[in-house]
Amino acid sequence: MSGYHPHDLLTSEADIPKAEATAMQRAIDLSKRALGHTSPHSIVGCVLMDRQGHTIGEGWRQDPNGPHAEIRALHAAGANARGATAVTTLEPCNHAGPTRPCAQALIDAGVTRVVYAVADPTTLAAGGGATLAAAGVDVECGLLAHQAAEANTAWLTSVQRQRPYVIWTYVVTLDGRGAASDSICRWVTSPQARADLHRLRAEADAVVVGSGTVRLDDPQLAARNRCGTRQPLRVVVVGSHGNVRPDARILDHSAPTLIAMNHAAKAPRMRERATAIRLPSAADGRGLDLSALLDALYERGVRSVLLEGGPTLAGAFLAAGFVDRIAGYLAPALLGEGPAPLARVDANTALMRALRVNVIDITWLGPDLRITATPQPPPPWPATATGQTRS
């Protein structure tokens, strides 16, 4: 594709990248409105500008089966789209879905320049940029690519790894005690931190906990105080000795529930909104094969998971390498007792060593801190004090 070439009709060459960068940031912000609403498809935002750099239409994908962002922006612009520049967070699709291909729609509307942040990684929809260029449209890729990819990281990661993107979230006090998000968390954390947790729930396709958390804390796990929110699927992982009481709040009507259990677990009595599936056992024979669990969720259209389980389930996900991001809430409180947020899993796993993380964000939420991090690959095992593998 061609490099950046300013449009001759714009008033100032220096204004062009600024105008397009501003439009791209707006498109990214629009795309975020779709978090939790479009799976198994991506989130996308689009802004159309006239030749003077003024916005004439914008849109974002609002549901899995509705018009794409580009189609919504074209509809808003109408006849003004001719000669316009389209700025979009993802390469315009090249296949017919609920609507005609977005690349062809842009061509038919007379758009003369398309700037997109991230190339489409799927074999089905990729190639829109080439189609546009072949039709004589000026095409640019890569503007604010990092920011656009970060907003769409759950979907992009799920496409790459063919499993849902997993965020492990937990609450911990200053003395290192774990606080369950739906019980002790109510008075340990601030309203701002709890609102942020519900935001993460609303943006996720599924929330996963273990049967131990359900038994001890009886969480509801719905995203509350989120107007217009599509509730995430609530998933309970049940091992050989676990169970779910028929009166558990996680079986209420506030959101759908999936009970995932191994073949040795006793089938629970469930209400009409809950379903159950049998999956292979973990290697120890007691828990659940997490790879099979993520495969089952992926087949159901789940592309992002919020892991809110207890220390054992969290440790199992980390040991298996299935945690993509960590969101830890640090509350300025002392409990004096209670479990750690993370349990040791197996003497042969990386969790017997220090699992290093990359801290990517630290945010104050009222008096609480949210620390966001990504796990680093574990060092070779066993390792010496200097970090060198023993011969």
Nearest residue to 235 via CA among 221, 224, 254:
221
Q: For residue 327, what are its two tokens? A: 């969101």
Q: For residue 219, what are its two tokens? A: 């969480």
Extended beta strands in 146-278, E state:
165-173, 178-179, 206-210, 233-238, 257-261, 274-278
Q: Is the pTM of this model over 0.85?
A: yes
Extended beta strands in 132-200, E state:
138-141, 165-173, 178-179
Residue 118 CA to its chain's centroid (Å): 17
DSSP labels, 254-291: TS-EEEEE-TTSPPPP--TTEEEEE-PBPTTSSSB-HH
What per-residue confidence (pLDDT) applies to 92?
97
Q: For residue 133, what are its two tokens? A: 């260029």
In this structure, are residues 73 and 48 in contact, taking their beta carbons and an 8 Å threshold? yes
C-alpha 224/C-alpha 230 separation (Å) is: 11
What per-residue confidence (pLDDT) applies to 385?
37
C-alpha 384/C-alpha 391 separation (Å) is: 10
What per-residue confidence (pLDDT) applies to 184?
55
Angle at 121 between CA 118 and CA 127, to 5 degrees: 85
What per-residue confidence (pLDDT) applies to 191?
92
What per-residue confidence (pLDDT) applies to 263?
79
C-alpha 43/C-alpha 62 separation (Å) is: 8
DSSP run (H or E) holding 370: strand 368-375
Residue 291 burial class via C-beta count within 10 angstroms: exposed 0-12, middle 13-18, buried 19 and up: middle
In this structure, are residues 115 and 86 in contact, taking their beta carbons and an 8 Å threshold? yes
Q: Residue 320, CB half-sphere, CA atoms under 13 Å: how many?
A: 19
Q: For residue 187, what are its two tokens? A: 């008075």
C-alpha 7/C-alpha 138 separation (Å) is: 9
What per-residue confidence (pLDDT) applies to 283?
82
Q: Report CA-CA distances (Å) from 22 to 10, 46, 87.
A: 15, 12, 10
**3-class DSSP assignment, residue 115:** strand
Mean pLDDT by 10 residues, the chain (391 residues): 36 63 98 94 97 96 92 97 98 83 97 97 90 97 96 96 97 84 67 93 95 87 71 89 84 91 75 81 83 97 94 91 96 84 64 79 97 81 37 27
What per-residue confidence (pLDDT) applies to 116?
97
For the chain, which domains are there?
A: 15-155 (3.40.140.10), 162-375 (3.40.430.10)
Active-site residue list: 70
Nearest residue to 310 via CA among 287, 343, 283, 286:
343
What per-residue confidence (pLDDT) applies to 376?
86
